[in-house]
């Protein structure tokens, strides 16, 4: 019996050691090209500083599913190729942040034209910006947005910087499991 227990221990130990911990390292799953000159999302679960070039965006009011379909209809009608991410302007509403505008980004400022497209869509060029960004993988839950906002607020205070506005970037569509979605909450910094 003693020999059987030793045998079981010796053969089971490597299996136990080789088992996956279940903790997956976050990684970006690209579904569409980024706009020209845009940095990839990341690093994950920390604040980083990034610079974005001038870009063109089709914008509509609201952050709901209807906003997505309004913008999807616009790019389909105008034959504008899909890019990632989708941009959502965020505003503080008490203790939480809410999506107030949604934008689909064009590949570059040479694609399409600026101006209104009906009553619900405005195409505009957005100037170069510097941001602090917090990237995570998973759902865009209120808890994750709050965690990202706290990390950004702490970094703003540490650096003595002022926020111009906030935006959230969503990189994945419904074909990707929510646990593998990549989001960035960003604070756009004021120009000095």
Condensed to tens digits (0 to 9), the pLDDT of residues 126-154 reads: 999 999 999 999 999 999 999 999 999 99
Composition of the chain by helix, strand, coil, percent to 5: 25, 35, 40
Q: State yes or no: pLDDT of 13 exceeds 70.
A: no
Q: Indicate the CATH number for domain 30-189.
A: 3.20.80.10
pLDDT band at residue 3, thresholds of 50, 70 and 90?
A: very low
Task: State the pLDDT at residue 95.
Answer: 77
Q: State yes or no: pLDDT of 1 exceeds 90.
A: no
Q: Which of 59-68, 100-109, 158-167 has the lowest mean pLDDT?
A: 59-68
Q: Which one, of 158, 51, 60, lies nearest residue 103 by Cα?
A: 60
Q: Which one, of 53, 42, 62, 163, lies nearest residue 103 by Cα?
A: 62
Q: State yes or no: pLDDT of 184 exceeds 60.
A: yes
Instruction: Give the start-to-end residue ranges of the domains of the chain.
Output: 30-189
| Beta strands across the sheet bearing 129-137 | 47-52, 129-137, 182-189, 163-170, 86-93, 96-105, 55-61, 121-126, 115-117
Q: Which one, of 74, 59, 169, lies nearest residue 125 by Cα?
A: 59
Q: By three-state DSSP, how is residue 153 classified? A: helix
């Amino acid at each position: 019996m003693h020999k059987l227990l030793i045998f079981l221990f010796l053969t089971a130990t490597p299996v136990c050691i080789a088992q996956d911990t279940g903790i997956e390292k976050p990684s970006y799953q690209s579904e569409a090209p980024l706009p020209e000159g845009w940095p990839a999302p990341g690093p994950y679960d920390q604040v980083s500083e990034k610079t974005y070039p001038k870009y063109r965006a089709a914008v509509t009011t609201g952050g709901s599913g209807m906003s997505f379909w309004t913008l999807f209809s616009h790019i389909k009608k105008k034959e504008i190729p899909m890019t990632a991410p989708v941009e959502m302007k965020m505003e503080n509403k008490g203790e939480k942040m809410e999506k107030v505008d949604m934008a689909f980004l064009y590949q570059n400022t040479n694609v399409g034209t600026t101006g209104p497209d009906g009553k619900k869509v405005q195409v505009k060029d957005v100037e170069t910006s510097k941001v602090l960004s917090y990237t995570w993988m998973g759902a865009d839950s209120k808890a994750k947005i709050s965690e990202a906002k706290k990390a950004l607020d702490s970094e703003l205070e540490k650096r003595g910087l002022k926020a111009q506005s906030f935006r959230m970037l969503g990189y994945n569509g419904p074909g990707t499991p929510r646990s593998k979605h990549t989001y960035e909450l960003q604070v756009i910094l004021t120009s000095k």
